[in-house]
Amino acid sequence: MSGGALDRRALRGEGPAAALGALPPELGFIAGQGLSPQSLLSAMNGAPMGVRPLDALLNEGILHEDAYYGALARHLGCDYYRGDPPFASGFDAVRGLRCGVAPLDGRGHRARAVIAPDARSVSRLIEMTSSGRLHPASFAVTSPQRFASLVRMQRGEAILEDALGRLPAGLSARTGMSLGQTAAAGLLAAAALALGIANLQLLDAALAASCWLTFLASIVLRSMAAVANGATIRPPLLSDDELPVYTVVAALYNESEVVENLIKAFDAFDYPKSKLDIKLVVERRDRETLSRILALRLPARYEVIVAPPGEPSTKPRALNLALASARGDCLAVYDAEDEPAPGQLRLAASRFAYEPDVDCLQARLAVRNTSDSWLSAMFAIEYAVLFDLINPGLSALDLPIALGGTSNHFRLDSLIGAGGWDEWNVAEDADLGVRLARYGYKVGSLQSDTSEEAPHELANWFGQRVRWQKGWIQTFVVHSRKPLMFVSDLGTRRAAAAAVLIFGSVMSALFWPAFAIDTLWRAFSAGSGELSAAREATDVFVYILALAGVWAIVIPAMVAARQRRFGFSAKALALLPVYYVLVSAAAWWAIVDLVFRPHYWAKTAHGRSPRAVVAPGRAGVAAPVGPA
C-alpha cells in the first residue's frame, strides 16, 4: 500500500491460516482484522537482517504509526491516548521518554498510565493483557511519536535541561571572554598605546609585522593543505544486512518552501528505510513549516520534534534536542536546502566500518545555482576550494578541520563524547571541528557531494557571512581561554595549525585590504626617492608575501573550478578582490554584532533561487561517490 497509511479498504477478507500463523503477535491481530497475511509476510521477508518486522512495516510506510497503534488499542480493549488527561505532576519526563511509559493524572479517568510500546514491547504487552496479568482498563496505549510529542509539549523545560548544557562552561561561547582574556587584551592595548606615544613608527612596524606573520602562517597552511589534498578512499560498500541504524537530523526554521524537496532527497537515499531514524526539528512558533510537514503524513522513520521556546534560538540548540533521542549508531546533519547524493549514507557507514579510527566525516558541499549571480558564482568557487582541496588536505596532514554546517557524519558515541554542539556558538560547526580534535577524535573527508543553494542576493549573503565570522571569533575566544591546555590537548603542531585556521582566517579577513593598500603604496612610492636598506628589505618581503597570498587564493581556485567543470574566467579573477572586500566588511561588522547581540542567529533564507540547477560534477569521480 502506498501513501504511508493503513488502508482500511484492505481490511477485508482473511488470508490462509498458514500465512496467518506465521505472523508474529504484533502483526497477527492486524491480519486477523482483515489485512492480507500474504502482504505482511512479503514485507517482512524483505526487511534487512536484524530489523524487527513491525519496525520495517512502520518505517517503510506500509503501516501508518497512528493507525497501527489505534488498532492495537482496540485489540487490547484499552483506550487510545491523545493527550487527555495530562501526565501526573511527578512524572520524570526524561526517564519516561526512554522507557515509553508515563503515569497519568487519574482524576476522572480510568487509566492510571499510558504506554507507548516500541516494536520489541508490543508482543509482550499483547501477551500480558491476554493472560490477564495486565487489565486493559488500567492503561492506555499511544504511538511512540505521539507520546514523545506530548512529553515535549507538557514537560519541555525538563527535556531542555537534559538535552542542553552538556559542555563544560569553559568550552561554551555562552560566557564570552574570560577574566584572564579580558586582562590580557587590556594589557596588550595598554602596551600598544604606550609604544605609540613613545614611538609611533615602532608601533606601526610592530602591528605590520604581526599582520605579516599572521598572513604568512595562513598562506603556508592553506598552501600545504591544497597541495596535500587527500587520497580518494573507496571502501567496500556494506550490504543492507550489514548497515547500522543511521540517524539523520535537519533543523528547520521558516523552511516551508523547501521542506518537501528535502523529504524527497531523504527518501532517495540508497539505504534501507527500516534502518533510518530521521529527525526534523521545527521551532514551535514556525507554524507554517510545521503544518507543511504534518500535511505530508510522513512514515514512522520520520520524527518531527517541536522545539520548545527558549534561548538561545539557534541551530545547534535544535541539533542537541535531536541528539538526545537519536537511535542510530551513526548520525548525519543536513540543512533544509540540501540534496545529498543518494549513496552518501551507505558510503559513510562503509567508511566508518572500513576505518574504525575515524569518528567524523565531512562530505563535499557543491553549489548548484552558480549562474544566479556573481555572488553565487564566487561562493561556488570558494566552496570548491574548501571542500575539494583544503579540508581533504588538512585531513591528510592529520590537522584539525573546521567542519561545514551540513553533511557532517558522526559516530554517535564520539559525538556525545565530544559534548555535542555548543548551542551558544553561531558557528557551531567550526567549534565542533576544533573540539573533536582536542578530544582526540579523528575527522576525515568523504568523497560524496551534497548540492546546496548559495545565497545569491547581497543582503542574504552578507547576513550569513557576518554570522560565520562572528562564530569564528567566538570559537577562537572559547579555545584560547586556557592556551596551555589547548596546546596540551592537541600537541604543538596541531595546536599551531588550529590557531592559524581559526585566528588566522579572522585576522586575514579583517586586515587584508589594509595589507593590499600598504603593498600598493610601497610599489608606487618606491621610485620617489632613495630608500633605506631596512625599507628595501621590508618591501621585498611584502612583495613576496603579496604574491604568495595571490598564489594561495588564485591557484587553488583555478584547480577547484576546473575539477568542478565551471571554469575560472578573467571575470572571476577580476571579481575575487571585490568578493573578499565584502568578506572583510562582514568580518568588521561581525565584531559589532558580537558586542551587541553575541548569540543572535542571522537566518539564511532558502528557496530563493529562480532556477533548479544540478550541481556540476567533479571530474574523475565514479558512483556511488559522485554528486547527487
pLDDT tens digit string along 205-264? 888 888 889 999 999 999 999 999 777 888 999 999 999 999 999 999 999 999 999 999
Task: Give start and end residues of each alpha helix (H) in 134-253.
Answer: 144-154, 156-163, 179-198, 200-228
Amino acid 15: pLDDT: 44
**101-106 long-range contacts, Cβ below 8 Å, gap at least 24?**
102/147, 102/151, 104/140
**Pick from 27-41, 147-161, 251-265: least confident:** 27-41
CATH superfamily entry for domain 204-234+244-628: Spore Coat Polysaccharide Biosynthesis Protein SpsA; Chain A (3.90.550.10)
pLDDT above 70 for 624 = no
Q: Whole-angstrom Cα distance, residue 502 to residue 308?
A: 33
Amino acid 34: pLDDT: 53
pLDDT above 90 for 63 = no
pLDDT above 70 for 100 = yes
pLDDT above 60 for 363 = yes
Measured N-to-C along each axis, helices 533-563 and 200-228 cross at an angle, to the nearest 10 degrees, of: 30
Q: Give percent of the chain above pLDDT 90.
A: 62
Confidence of residue 153 (pLDDT cuts 50, 70, 90): confident
Measured N-to-C along each axis, helices 37-45 and 25-32 cross at an angle, to the nearest 10 degrees, of: 150
Count of residues making up the chain: 628
pLDDT, tens digit, 9 for 90 and up, residues 472-508 = 999 999 999 999 999 999 999 999 999 999 999 999 9
CB atoms closer than 10 angstroms to residue 80: 18
Q: Cα angle at 189 between 184 and 191, to 5 degrees?
A: 95
3-state secondary structure of 203: helix
pLDDT above 60 for 5 = no
Q: Cα angle at 168 between 163 and 171, to 5 degrees?
A: 110
**Pick from 37-41, 402-406, 604-608: least confident:** 37-41
Average pLDDT over residues 557-565: 90
Confidence of residue 13 (pLDDT cuts 50, 70, 90): very low
HSE of 51, CA atoms in CB hemisphere, 13 A? 30
- Computed on alpha carbons and rounded to an integer, the radius of gyration of the chain in Å comes to 28
Average pLDDT over residues 18-35: 70
Average pLDDT over residues 148-172: 87
Confidence of residue 425 (pLDDT cuts 50, 70, 90): very high
Q: Give percent of the chain above pLDDT 70.
A: 92
Query: What is this structure's pTM?
Result: 0.89
Give the Å distances, CA to CA, from 49 to 143, 243, 268, 329, 434: 24, 9, 21, 16, 37
Q: Whole-angstrom Cα distance, residue 415 to residue 358?
A: 12
Average pLDDT over residues 308-328: 92
Q: Whole-angstrom Cα distance, residue 441 to residue 12?
A: 55
pLDDT above 90 for 103 = yes
79-80 β-sheet, strand order? 79-80, 139-141, 113-115, 101-103
Amino acid 536: pLDDT: 84
Map out the domains of the chain as residue ranges. Answer: 8-162, 204-234+244-628
Average pLDDT, the chain: 88
